[in-house]
Structure 1
């Protein structure tokens, strides 16, 4: 996969970040500092919901912390993985309030504070992870990123795809018709529930932490997640088939709250560079983990891999539904995303 032009991304996002306003945060030491902030040591908290073995932590959060430490910029990043600082919906509120500095978060959860950003997680909005990277590395994303900053008072430092989401169940799912009669678990967010409708699924809301038990007890028949999440939750123990629908380029946005405006421009540059490094690394780590996991499932037979899914049927159905049901702002984001498809 071709790596994005990180120097261009740094310049473009630094410009956006400098223009962003964080109205919910009172700066304690803005003074007349010409260097972009109040200066002094900065201790940042970084939160996410992933385990320490998942690529979002190993190649994302940890690289950010390590790169910041190596830069010796009087700044540190302390990581709190596995939802230690709250579930997704709680953490975005904590970033807005300033209780958490940096969060690695899916776009659908961020829709709680700015609805249009959730469209990034719309079914088949992106053709693949490279398409997502291209969108966020282009001017096509500028309006979304700036509007998100203006509305919520948070700055987007980077974005990556943490792998495509696929269906699992105890029977193959090759077409939208195969979802008939199946109770499929989807996350409880408006965009995910809209995705379920768009794909033809009967959505059942179950907390991620309760998903294994729900599948084991038959409360739900199937679910959808990236390969790395399926493996980390050991869902292959309670599901027979993984159907490679690739219906969503599972997103992670790296966002920071009002502390950004308290940092010097040098510290901002260091943090932005660290995030850019993580944006480069995560997709490759995800791909390696997925390849290893699929090979293990194929060898052990723990999960039968269905690779002849009629993706075009799902894609066409989803596109029609979304265009008919998005509001004007959501549709504008969707069109911007599709506009940079190859």
Structure 2
């Protein structure tokens, strides 16, 4: 693992840009990309795409992949990319604390989506791409593309069968999801990703609301929690690939296009890996017992989400525009009926 000290030391001995210009013009382009995912998860959600890119780009360009917190803490990813300390990032806006009006919608904005396909449709057909592009371009960052991961469920040591069971539970989750669920007594806890498993074992955490059941099994959380709540607070994580704008603009068009294609392949991989994994592990998984809060009680949470949307919309014109899109999209899905939405008024 590359430590931050080694990374900074290595950067310090690079020759001055002006003196190195002739050599750099002939050399292979090298990027550092850090994901917010830990090593076990990154094996699925990004490493295959980076391996493909490096294989195809060959001597033209190579991307060095770093996992959660390896070069900088996840909460500092945006600043490091903006400065050019790292070249690119895979993360949701919320986790990397990007200073934009759209940050609150990254990760798990409560009930913005029901299924993973909702996310790319919102970005590519309902106008979110254009809003994200404007927000990040103003800050010197290229928003390359957005995609979906798994739904957000609670994995806990004690069973959750009613909203009352959530009260006082210390839970690792995303900032906005934690802000929303705190009204039901959940206590959000922020820790480095790699520390979560131990924190559950030691009792520092009562549970995790950071993923679906596929990740719980993949990264080891199913080994330290006993119960999986089938109700979710969002149907799909929303996250993106980003790059330092100067580094992006320096790339020739063929490499920009190759990056887009490989990142789209990464989005596609997650679509089927999570969709199939969520169902398979609910049916065939042996490590966690499934629990459910009754629909009529869970409706309280869904109703609260709509009030939360309005609170967020009141914070800025850009946030209001995004909430308007979310409302329009979900209303369209309800009108479309099965298989898009059903069982909803």
TM-score normalised according to structure 1 size: 0.77
- Among candidates 282, 286, 289, match of residue 304 of structure 1: 289
C-alpha distance in 1, partners of 2:59/2:325?
Answer: 37
- Among candidates 149, 171, 174, match of residue 185 of structure 1: 171
- SS of alignment partner, residue 314 of structure 1: helix
Structure 1 consecutive aligned stretches of length 4 or more whose deviation exceeds 4 Å = none
Alpha-carbon offset, residue 296 of structure 1:
4.6
Q: Which string of whole-angstrom CA distances, capped at 9 and with x for unpartnered residues, describes residues 276-311 of structure 1?
A: 2222222112233334443453xx3x2101256535
Give the match for residue 240 of structure 1. Answer: 226
- Among candidates 245, 250, 259, match of residue 271 of structure 1: 259
Alpha-carbon offset, residue 266 of structure 1:
1.9
C-alpha distance in 2, partners of 1:63/1:112?
Answer: 24
Q: Which string of whole-angstrom CA distances, capped at 9 and with x for unpartnered residues, describes residues 207-251 of structure 1?
A: 133333333333333331212332244333332211022212222
Whether contact under 8 Å (1:126, 1:338) holds in the other structure is: no
- SS of alignment partner, residue 50 of structure 1: coil
Aligned 1:121-132 pairs, distance under 5 A: 121=107, 122-132=109-119
- SS of alignment partner, residue 223 of structure 1: strand
C-alpha distance in 1, partners of 2:65/2:94?
Answer: 22
Give the match for residue 136 of structure 1. Answer: 123
Aligned 1:248-267 pairs, distance under 5 A: 248=234, 249-257=236-244, 258-267=246-255
1:147 matched to 2:134: yes
**Structure 1 pair 314–256 and aligned structure 2 pair: CA distance change class (3 A):** same
Q: Which string of whole-angstrom CA distances, capped at 9 and with x for unpartnered residues, describes residues 294-337 of structure 1?
A: 3453xx3x210125653533222222133135412323222223
**Structure 1 pair 47–94 and aligned structure 2 pair: CA distance change class (3 A):** same
Aligned 1:41-120 pairs, distance under 5 A: 41-54=28-41, 56-72=42-58, 74-120=60-106
Whether contact under 8 Å (1:175, 1:313) holds in the other structure is: no
1:282 matched to 2:270: yes
TM-score normalised according to structure 2 size: 0.76
Whether contact under 8 Å (1:60, 1:278) holds in the other structure is: yes
Q: How many residues align?
A: 302
1:320 matched to 2:296: no
C-alpha distance in 2, partners of 1:290/1:39?
Answer: 47
Deviates more, 1:279-288 or 1:158-167: 279-288
C-alpha distance in 1, partners of 2:39/2:220?
Answer: 15
Give the match for residue 326 of structure 2. Answer: 337
- Among candidates 157, 165, 168, match of residue 155 of structure 2: 168
| CA RMSD across the alignment | 2.9
- Among candidates 138, 144, 157, match of residue 157 of structure 1: 144
- SS of alignment partner, residue 138 of structure 2: helix
Whether contact under 8 Å (2:160, 2:293) holds in the other structure is: no
Mind listing any 5+ residue stretches in structure 2 that lack a counterpart? Answer: 1-16, 19-24, 334-345
